[in-house]
Amino acid sequence: MLNFRKSAVALCVSMSCAVPVYAEQQASENQDMDVVEVTGSRIKRADLEGASPLVTITAEDIQMQGHANVFDALSAISSNSGIFIGEANSNNFNANAQALNLRGFGSSYSLVLINGRRIPVLPKPSGTVSGNVTNLATIPSDAVKRIEILSGGASAIYGSDAVTGVVNVILKDDVDESTLTYRRGDTKDGGGASNKLSFTTGGSFGDTNFTLGLELDQRKPIHGDDRDWFDEPTDGPDETRHGLTQVMSYWARYQPDPYMLIDIEDKCAAVGYEAVYNANRTPFKQNDSDTDTPHYCGDNTYNTYTVRNDRDRSSMFLHLDHDLNADTALYADIIAMKSEGEAGIYRYSFKADYDVRGELADGDSWLGSRHFYRTFRSHEVPTSNQVFDETSLTFITGIRGVIAGEYDYSVSFSGGQYDYEDSVVRFDDQKMLAKIFGEKGKDWDQPWEGSRWVTVNASQLNSDYTPKNFDILGELTPDMFNDVTHTSVGKGDSSMYNLAFELSGTLMELDSGPLQFATVAEIIQESYEFITDQPTVDGDIYGWSGIRGKGDRDHYAIGFELAIPLLDESSGAGKLDATLAARYDHYDDKSDVNGAATYQFGLTWRPMEELMLRTNYATSFRAPDMHVMNAERSSSFASGTDFYECATKEGLTAGQGWKFCSEDYGSGSVRRYTEGDLSLKEETGYSASIGMVADITDNWSMTLDFYKLHLENQIGVMTMDGLFRYEAECLLGFGQFDSNIDKNSPKCQDALSRVQRGGPKNGVTSVSTIPYNIGFRQQTGVDFSTSYKIDTHEFGTFKAKLDYSHIFESPFRFLPEDEVEDIRDLPWNNTFRTKTNLTLGWHKEAVSASLFINRLGTSPVEDAEQPERYPAWTTMNLKAGYDVTEDISLSLSVVNLFDKKPHQHESEKWWPFADINKYNPVGMEYFLQAKVRF
């Protein structure tokens, strides 16, 4: 494979993709600007609107709308209808990341660019066999000049990943003054205080221009006890769960009930816990004098979690350009970021099931079965927080100019490196069991392969069968665990290097106008590696899992684009233009993906100067993520419904429904092993849109676009319920809808090999899965936008902008035998079917004010007993500014002005008693900013 880092030739002739920022340097911001290059096309044009719908967010918009960073600004756009599970849910793979989910297809289905170039992805995948996302937290907000969002497929222009859209972040490049800005932030209810200091400067010396920026951003965490609506168990809707969380308990197993609670009330107060009586549990009386009202120990554990991470980030950006002559210029851009973060996750815990035997090797000497459970507070064990350390560097360098006085060219080399590490301290399972029970093989053993259920010699236990040598239910200190803890570390890096040549200009003059073209040739090399320590991946570390994988690939592409004037304004039928684009991408790696050709066709028609009708059709493809193909055997925890246990215990026969099984036959948390598959095919599809752009008056404009997205061969991993359903059907020889299942079929043999059972009750001990090309997904909807501006001499300038997106339908099929169904309104679909935002702005001389209103439409309640939807959720951001002098300004921003809290529902029985992946739990937050220019 080609290695850029070893190729001097590559460094000399390095090249880049489309760069809207280039033309921006040649264009003014006023109405009579020259032609510019806009995201979605490499052909420069005078009109920002074309055949493909485009949304633009300027640096001024980010400020007006009260957003604290790039992620907040992009999350609010109406086409970002999906959710991204990030730091609000700290117990996930991307607990320190920020990414988009355009149209709800997933964070890996949109392409994020900086100045038109690809950038390195977050090295840690978003799941054991999931893709890598682009982390928007690496982009400093002060570096942004504007952001262009193309809401549709654009593979014929940019290649793979541009399925649901393209986000192009344009960096500042024309700063001619120095600005020092300090921003102080805090939240109404506590936690999350922040400090941000930034400095930007720029200017020119001779034929060289530069822009430089530095940014320091520090933020404190928000913990689970910082909000009064989820800081106590009594905040939950289910009164039966208002007791303190179970943190220490002791049980008898299968004597005869599966779990029978043994009273430990006398042990709770000694370690700082409260005794909690649970009337729903069957008591176990070891002696006649034992109580009929057994207690476990409870505590409020919510302060352990964070809903927003602690973070300390510093970043730098630099732009340079130098004019060699009137037609040729050199340029360079650099962004560097260093970030340290910390996420609060669940408390340390440990539990074990064990059979008590008079003689360890004698199964007939069974005396009883026990289970203990214990969590640990911060003063009892080392910290339970997960720590993050990240560094990223992105660079762009090249030359641009004019050939033969009429053809624009650019030759550039761009790339970057992203380094990542996370770590957390947890128990080594075998060492912890040995500390509690003694020497393995002599004092205790594990006779059932794959099961943690152990056997223990009665000599190692007290008369009540609690461990004798280590008081797991007593007082503990960190030094007791020095020899049994393990630091699980995940280290990764990713890189992206891009070499490209671009040429554009006019091929010929037609009667209706110039026939314009653009062509591009690219070589891209990308790689990633993420390695979690082997003991964690192998399941040796209690309650923690890990990912391993690495891969690289070379990617070659050539593309061509035409802008064809079919009719001009003098035709009597209006101005009609067509755009054509085609591209071929070839992948050189170990997979079965060789290459793909994509094309795009667009039409714009202006029957009058104030109205443009447009339509666009573009095929798209997405090469499988490198980790999905190259993932080594990795592990995570998941749960599902044990349909086999349900069917056998309930005596189910063919044709009887299995839906009720989920109520009483959960598998519990099961370790799931997964690995990649190099035989995966590329995902293919298309996007289509038809709409209009209207300038109703000089100050009032609107756009309306209907769209359709279609995707085939979508890659997914079998759900736990799906795998358990297959396993049950194959073991039983029948299913809930099929009376004749062939147990010896390849499908059954595969399913049975993926579910491991063991232990004394033959429960599920682990499962293994791989990704498949099985999915089909489609979406239709509409985007609407309108803006209005009015200037008054007496009262100042008023602005208003409304954006609205509505999903009509979302046909979907996951398994080949599944029926295609519309998932738009299904309980598990977290994509908002409508999303609206409204920006109102006003300024007069030194005073300005703006209001940003963001409305998330109704969404399904996932666990409601009957189909039910949350009401729409609306938040408002208010910003007010005052220019003290020409060089000093102050502003106050209030995010979530009315302190809107996430919707709560009676089905949300567990902390935080609301779906905080959908609805931001931070509440009201305010920022005071001072800016000095010099």
Tokens of 736: 């809930």
- For residue 585, pLDDT over 80 is answered with yes
pLDDT band at 7 (very low <50, low <70, confident <90, very high): very low
pLDDT of residue 719: 83
Which range, of 1-15, 340-354, 467-481, 916-930, averages the lowest pLDDT?
1-15
On average, the pLDDT of the chain sits at 91
The β-bridge partners of 54 are: 150
* Sequential DSSP letters for 263-318: P-HHHHGGGT-EEEE-TTSEE--SSTTS-SS-EEEEE--GGG-EEE-EEEEEEEEE
* Sequential DSSP letters for 6-34: G-HHHHHS------HHHHHTT--SSTT--
CA distance 288 to 895: 61
Relative to beta strand 670-674, strand 763-769 is parallel
- Rounded mean pLDDT, 893-904: 97
CA distance 679 to 657: 36
Residue 774: exposed, middle, or buried by beta-carbon count in 10 A (0-12, 13-18, 19+)?
Answer: middle
DSSP-derived letter for residue 475 is -
pLDDT of residue 769: 86
pLDDT band at 27 (very low <50, low <70, confident <90, very high): very low
CA distance 372 to 466: 8
For 480, residues 6+ apart whose C-beta sits below 8 A from its C-beta are none
CA distance 17 to 520: 7
Cα 349 vs. chain centroid, distance in angstroms?
Answer: 27
pLDDT of residue 438: 96
Per-residue pLDDT reduced to its tens digit, 234-243: 999 888 888 8
* Sequential DSSP letters for 316-339: EEEEEEEESSSSEEEEEEEEEEEE
pLDDT of residue 28: 37
- For residue 12, pLDDT over 70 is answered with no
- For residue 792, pLDDT over 60 is answered with yes
- Cβ density class 722-747: b for 16+ within 10 Å, e for less: bbbbbbbbbbbebbbeeeebeeeeee
The β-bridge partners of 858 are: none
CA distance 493 to 629: 17
List the CATH code of the domain at 4-224+308-344+387-424+489-628+682-714+774-933. 2.40.170.20
- For residue 8, pLDDT over 60 is answered with no
Tokens of 532: 């979690």
Neighbours of 134 (CB within 10 A): 26
CA distance 347 to 424: 12
From 816, 932, 914, select the one nearest 177 (Cα to Cα). 932
The three-class DSSP label of residue 161 is: coil
DSSP-derived letter for residue 930 is E
- Rounded mean pLDDT, 540-549: 91
- For residue 9, pLDDT over 50 is answered with no
8 Å CB contact between 901 and 888? no
Higher pLDDT, 735 or 154: 154
What's the pTM? 0.89
DSSP-derived letter for residue 131 is P
8 Å CB contact between 45 and 35? yes
- Rounded mean pLDDT, 483-501: 96
pLDDT band at 346 (very low <50, low <70, confident <90, very high): confident
Task: Judge if the upstream peptide bond of residue 912 is cis by omega within 30 degrees of 0.
Answer: yes
* Sequential DSSP letters for 399-456: EEEEETTTEEEEEEEEEEEEEEEEEEEEEBHHHHHHHHH-SBTTTEE--STT---EEE
Tokens of 344: 């609060």
From 40, 116, 92, select the one nearest 687 (Cα to Cα). 40
Sheet holding 54-58, edge to edge: 54-58, 144-150, 165-171, 110-114, 117-118
Beta strand ranges found along 533-668 (DSSP E): 548-567, 575-588, 595-608, 611-622, 634-638
Domain chopping of the chain, boundaries: 4-224+308-344+387-424+489-628+682-714+774-933, 245-299+347-383+429-483, 634-674+720-769
pLDDT band at 35 (very low <50, low <70, confident <90, very high): low
DSSP-derived letter for residue 64 is H
pLDDT of residue 747: 81
CA distance 873 to 823: 21
8 Å CB contact between 418 and 495? yes
* Sequential DSSP letters for 72-89: HHHHTSTT--S----TTS
- H-run or E-run covering 176: none
**Cα angle for residues 99, 101, 102 (degrees, 5° grid):** 130
Cα 260 vs. chain centroid, distance in angstroms?
Answer: 41
Per-residue pLDDT reduced to its tens digit, 354-385: 999 999 989 899 999 999 999 998 888 877 89
The three-class DSSP label of residue 747 is: helix
8 Å CB contact between 185 and 39? no
Per-residue pLDDT reduced to its tens digit, 264-276: 999 999 999 999 9
8 Å CB contact between 486 and 424? no
pLDDT of residue 19: 36
- For residue 29, pLDDT over 70 is answered with no
Which range, of 116-125, 336-345, 573-582, 728-737, averages the lowest pLDDT?
728-737
Per-residue pLDDT reduced to its tens digit, 115-142: 999 999 999 998 777 889 999 999 999 9
- Rounded mean pLDDT, 286-309: 86
CA distance 803 to 852: 11
- For residue 290, pLDDT over 80 is answered with no
CA distance 229 to 912: 8
Within 13 Å and on the Cβ side, how many CA atoms surround 5? 8
- For residue 556, pLDDT over 60 is answered with yes
CA distance 153 to 785: 20
For 499, residues 6+ apart whose C-beta sits below 8 A from its C-beta are 4, 10, 13, 14, 15, 413, 522, 523, 524
- For residue 15, pLDDT over 60 is answered with no
pLDDT of residue 34: 58
Output the CA–CA distances (angstroms, integers) from residue 459 to 352, 438, 500, in the order listed: 18, 10, 73
Neighbours of 633 (CB within 10 A): 15
Per-residue pLDDT reduced to its tens digit, 726-753: 899 999 998 876 678 888 888 889 889 9
Within 13 Å and on the Cβ side, how many CA atoms surround 881? 24
For 129, residues 6+ apart whose C-beta sits below 8 A from its C-beta are 627, 628, 631, 634, 674, 675, 676, 717, 769, 770, 771
Radius of gyration of the chain (CA): 30
pLDDT of residue 23: 35
Per-residue pLDDT reduced to its tens digit, 510-535: 999 999 999 999 999 999 999 999 99
Which range, of 18-32, 485-499, 592-606, 857-871, averages the lowest pLDDT?
18-32
Tokens of 39: 């995201």
Relative to beta strand 282-283, strand 260-261 is parallel
CA distance 336 to 934: 25
CA distance 811 to 499: 39
For 695, phi and psi rounded to 5 degrees? Answer: -95, 95
CA distance 175 to 142: 12
Relative to beta strand 634-638, strand 575-588 is unpaired
User: Which residue is associated with the tokens 């380094």?
Assistant: 419
Cα 515 vs. chain centroid, distance in angstroms?
Answer: 42
- Rounded mean pLDDT, 325-330: 95
- For residue 812, pLDDT over 60 is answered with yes
Relative to beta strand 821-822, strand 634-638 is unpaired
What size, in residues, is the chain? 934
Angle between helices 720-732 and 643-650 (to 10 degrees): 40
For 722, phi and psi rounded to 5 degrees? Answer: -65, -45
CA distance 584 to 558: 6
Angle between helices 720-732 and 746-753 (to 10 degrees): 120
